[in-house]
Structure 1
Amino acid sequence: MNKQRPTSSGTGRRPKVVISADCLGRLEALAEGAIQRNPDLADRLLGEISRARIVPAAKLLENVVANCRAVTYRDETTGQEKTVTPVFPEDADIARGRISILTSIGVALIVLAEGASLHWDTRDGERRILTVLHVASQNVPESLEAQ
């Protein structure tokens, strides 16, 4: 099981978590629904939700990763950069770069802002650090999500 701990870049402290109020209920329901299938992931998501500051969607800062906002991150070990869009599970399509927020990388990224880093343990047990480089300021249009 992948485990990761987000940190504020360079400080070793966990970054602040900000969640849009319009996603809160859905995130809680997803976490609760995953308790039987994937208790570690569900606990991680519930933990992030419990420490989050909930804000109206209109007040969510543009540099915070959120559902349907593309995020570019860098693997500090390899230097490789990747852009993905966290989405609800039913909209996930890895071929299009849409990752479910109910995956370990989705849970980790959904709560971060530009400049934040997270420790990531690969399936091979290798520890890596991923850094959020950029968050798209606008959500991917819903019309694209249906494709």
Structure 2
Amino acid sequence: MSQTAMKSTALPRLILGVEDHGKLMTMASGISGPMASVADQLMNELDRARVVDQGKLPDDAVRMGSIVSFTTEDGFNRTFQLVFPGNADIASGKVSVLTPIGAALIGLREGQSIPWTARDGRRLSLTVNRVQQGQ
């Protein structure tokens, strides 16, 4: 997808609980060095999210701990649990919110799509297929 097409694509509305929003803002604002660009991406998502009481989040909204099934336009179809960086373990299906895909997923709801840039620089779109709340 070209940069012009990416810019013209409307970004989906995001919804986050106040607790997750606060923890993620604090974490992302304290990051520098090699992770700074992903932290900036996460901050941009947090800035545009509608923040609600944690208990009022819809069940299909991606939050910390959610198990998310999604597809990308290039055919990548995966299921991950979204976790804080210290709990990330890709072999166990746990992806950090401080990765490009993790930052793109936070706050989305089932059926929503968002453009994102993969670590290798490819610009893609991903669509959330299913959201389960983790234990």
What is the TM-score of this pair, normalised by structure 2? Answer: 0.85
Say if 2:114 is the partner of 1:111.
Answer: no
How many Å apart are 1:81 and its aligned residue?
Answer: 1.6
Q: Secondary structure at the match of 2:80?
A: strand
Residue pair 1:73, 1:131 contacting (<8 A) in 2 also: yes
Say if 2:92 is the partner of 1:96.
Answer: yes
1:121 aligns with 117
Distance 1:57 1:129, change over 3 A: same
Among 109, 128, 133, the residue aligned to 1:132 = 128
Query: C-alpha offsets along residues 44-100 of structure 1, whole Å, 9 cap, x if unaligned?
Result: 22222222211111100111111101000012222x421001011111111111111
What amino acid sits opposite 2:99 in the alignment? T
Residue pair 2:25, 2:46 contacting (<8 A) in 1 also: yes
Q: Structure 1 stretch 28-37 or stretch 108-117: which is displaced more?
A: 28-37
Q: Which runs of 5+ in 2 are unaligned?
A: 1-5
Q: State how 1:74-89 maps to structure 2 within 5 Å.
A: 74-78=71-75, 80-89=76-85
Among 38, 41, 49, the residue aligned to 2:35 = 38
Residue pair 2:100, 2:118 contacting (<8 A) in 1 also: no
What CA RMSD, in Å, does the superposition of the two structures yield over aligned residues? Answer: 2.1
Distance 1:40 1:60, change over 3 A: same
1:71 aligns with 68
Runs of 4+ in 1 over 4 A off after TM superposition: none
Aligned residues: 130
Alpha-carbon distance between aligned partners in 2 of 1:46 and 1:17, rounded to the nearest angstrom: 13
Q: Secondary structure at the match of 2:30?
A: helix
Among 11, 28, 53, the residue aligned to 2:50 = 53
Distance 1:123 1:91, change over 3 A: closer
What is the TM-score of this pair, normalised by structure 1? Answer: 0.78
Q: Which runs of 5+ in 1 are unaligned?
A: 1-5, 142-147
